[in-house]
Amino acid sequence: MERKYFGTDGIRGRVGDGVMTPEFVLKLGWAVGQVLCSEDNDLVLIGKDTRISGYMFESVLEAGLSAAGVNARLLGPMPTPAVAYLTRTLRAAAGIVISASHNPYYDNGVKFFSSEGKKLPDSIELEIEEQLSKPLKVVASDKLGKVERITDAAGRYIEFCKSTIPTRIKLNGLKLVVDCAHGATYHIAPNVFSELGAEVISLSSKPNGVNINDNCGATNPKELRMAVIEHHADLGIAIDGDGDRLIMVDDTGAIVDGDELLYVIANARKKENLLDGGVVGTLMSNLGLEHALRAQDIEFGRANVGDRYVMEMLKDRSWTIGGESSGHIICLDRTTTGDAIVSALQVLQVLVNQQISLRDAIAGMNKYPQVLINVPIQDKLDLDNSPQIQEAVRAAESDLADSGRVLLRPSGTEPLVRVMVEGMDSPKVHKLAQQIADSVTAAC
């Protein structure tokens, strides 16, 4: 069955339109309570990022869960991976995150974790959608769910993050610039790194409800790059609005993306005989990552784009390390989902252990020039059956021959078609990507 509401990462949209209305989210809370909770476990945790609409959706989720007879515990602003961790450790039936991740403030979304702190499988999402088609029935008054607030959630998660590296690892002597995107990690990430001994300069850590991801964070590290150079910092750490995406900046201000961070982590673990199997990337992962891992005798697999598909391949192959170029890094030997702070700590551990800079740590990987163009579209576009688009793709593939790749895919979260071209010749890659992007625009 095709999912009607769920996308690649929960349910997401513009606030006030479509699914992101108080009426729909209230019923969604009720439907989740029906599917994920039982008499043995009727507890659900609710966390959110810093969007102004989070207050509204938090309230209606409470009401929906209560109507289903489910008890809720409010975490307040909390990173997505923190909700996954707390759901598991507090033995809740489910965790709910109110967030649209890296999207602007006027979007919001709802995503879910199982009692094990893992993303829900398709089958459970379909069960929730089936409940949404039914009338909402309120339990008897004496069975209504209650709501309480957990006041020490941030402290619990900070201690967990620190526990993912050995206690002998200290960050003393490191100067870090940390960009929190005015998002859910604003009160957590700087504390984690400073408590481990680093000198921390915080950026974008004053959320006001509408500045989340606004020209900052993992999706726009321009200010971070300048700050690293200005403060003569060792490196910069950029996190997205909900705390599951990580981009770094080296001491020269150069951006270090998810592919390079995967290489640093995997290469170090291979040398220490701590790497279980290979590494999972995606169709968007740079060829340079694949070649660099191969040079270290590390197997590499490509999943479909989306951290849920990376996770599926990791489970299928019993591997532990995977991620995306965009900065979703998954270390299953540390936690159950992508976590920007935990991933940053894994990289910092490598630098401390080997007494090297971030720039030196990525020196073994040479990235191919890669161009990604996001083309806005109004309605769904059948890429495979558009002669104009397919002709442009065939021409580009013929021009690149065996020295590059072309990938087109619709975004799972935004009204965009993503055009990616990769190859050894940078000018040619830029030209071919623009030609394909123009064909997509013309076909709309």
Domain 157-361: give its CATH code: 3.40.120.10
**Rounded Cα distance, 62 and 141, in Å:** 15
- Active-site residues, by number, are 101
Residue 28 CA, distance from chain mean position:
22
Q: Where are the beta strands (DSSP E) in 24-101?
A: 43-48, 71-77, 94-98
* pLDDT for residue 444: 79
pLDDT at 405 over 90: no
* pLDDT for residue 13: 95
Q: Is 181 within 8 Å of 212 (Cβ atoms)?
A: yes
Class of domain 11-151: alpha beta
**Rounded Cα distance, 230 and 207, in Å:** 23
Predicted confidence band of residue 414 (pLDDT cuts 50, 70, 90):
confident
For the chain, where do the domains classified as CATH 3.40.120.10 start and end? Answer: 11-151, 157-361
Predicted confidence band of residue 1 (pLDDT cuts 50, 70, 90):
low
pTM for the model: 0.90
* pLDDT for residue 381: 80
- Chain segment 229-273, per-residue pLDDT in tens: 999 999 999 999 999 999 999 999 999 999 999 999 999 999 999
pLDDT at 276 over 80: yes
* pLDDT for residue 261: 98
* pLDDT for residue 18: 92
* Bridge partners of residue 420, in order along the sequence: 372, 407
pLDDT at 385 over 90: no
Q: Is 154 within 8 Å of 187 (Cβ atoms)?
A: yes
**Rounded Cα distance, 194 and 225, in Å:** 20
**Rounded Cα distance, 89 and 59, in Å:** 24
* pLDDT for residue 399: 92
Query: Pick from 295, 361, 362, 283: which is nearest to 324 by CA?
Result: 283
How high does pLDDT run on average in the chain?
95
* pLDDT for residue 245: 96
- Chain segment 70-124, per-residue pLDDT in tens: 999 999 999 999 999 999 999 999 999 999 999 999 999 999 999 999 999 889 9
- Cβ-based neighbours of 355, under 8 Å, separated by 6 or more: none
* pLDDT for residue 413: 67
Predicted confidence band of residue 40 (pLDDT cuts 50, 70, 90):
confident
- Mean pLDDT is lowest, of 141-150, 300-309, 351-360, for 300-309
Q: Specify the fold of 370-443.
A: TATA-Binding Protein (3.30.310)
For the chain, where do the domains classified as CATH 3.30.310.50 start and end? Answer: 370-443
Average pLDDT, stretch 433-444? 91
The structure tokens listed for 312 are 């599926």
pLDDT at 310 over 80: yes
Percent of the chain scored above 70 by pLDDT? Answer: 99
